[in-house]
Copies of this chain bind each other. A is one copy, B any other.
């Protein structure tokens, strides 16, 4: 069996919700986390949705994550807030931060919320997208949950792939949603190459001598490369300071590898900015202007090796439409693991 099994979005959400509740997570929290996780899968971020469910539950079981966190706002001004996630699921703190930012931006025009004592919260794009429904622009940054990147020219892995996501509302076009790590390749892509027995292209990783590393099974002997050399290093550093240090969350040498260590507090930090378009200009005109930019870009002639020019978020949008229609594809190995988890948690198996 090598073909993916297609699972309906609603069924996946119900499944995740059931597993969380069986673990002792309060209904309301399970509802938020299952909504965000299944949404990640719906958008094709398949390394960040239900794929992480067993890992989250394991972290709760061994005491690395709190199953009944009391979220609190520990700093607040008219256009900012700092949410303490009390070491619960990262989706809870990140979602709360976005909601507060959106609420504040309604009156102040722009608002910025940070999180501390949060955890892995799935793909950055999930949170940047939330303000779209209020005709707001969303900007999200996070400290990644494992350091795979040294500073430019160095060999100490002090930085993570610290991502940024920005979502911009549109009128008729799918929204523009940029969602990117500051490294050329995400670490998950390296793992996938290893699983498939493929080599990596030059430019993804280097070894400790600075030479190209193309054998993904030797990934632990090298480092990811930042985009644009020193520039990507600079971005990873800045996003880490804004999403981590500013919030009193872990950054740099304090970041633990959450894949290798389920027990230690991650003290993950994230940040979101909500920008009310209506504060700046006529919302309809803005959306039309963004649509026009999209059309101009799409109309560009292409280079010989390309058959079209795409917009950030275009792939996720088409994957989403396909998944809504045909169900979310779950890799057979993951599907098997989820059935085992279902039995463990005493919830109904998938599909």
Contacts and interface: CB of A to CB of B under 8 A. Distances in A.
Contact of A280 (B111, B114, B286, B304): B114
A95 interface: no
B275 A112 contact: yes
Contacts of A158: 293, 296-297, 300
Max count, chain B CB within 10 A of own CB: residue among A75, A158, A303, A305:
A303
A248 interface: yes
Given A75-B281, A232-B227, A238-B166, A155 B301 contact: yes
Contacts of A208: 303
A187 to B, nearest CB: 15
Nearest to A157: B300
A105 B311 CA distance: 33
A184 B228 contact: yes
Interface residues of A, number: 80
A107 B77 contact: yes
Instruction: Tell me what chain A mostly uses at the interface: helix, strand, loop, or mixed.
Output: mixed
Given A151-B309, A237-B176, A75 B296 contact: no
A306 to B, nearest CB: 4
Contact of A210 (B79, B178, B275, B304): B304
Given A75-B281, A156-B297, 15 more contacts: A79-B108, A108-B108, A151-B297, A152-B310, A153-B305, A154-B297, A154-B301, A154-B306, A155-B301, A178-B234, A237-B297, A241-B293, A245-B293, A246-B275, A246-B286
Q: Which 3 A-B pairs have the closest CB atoms?
A: A227-B228, A77-B109, A154-B300
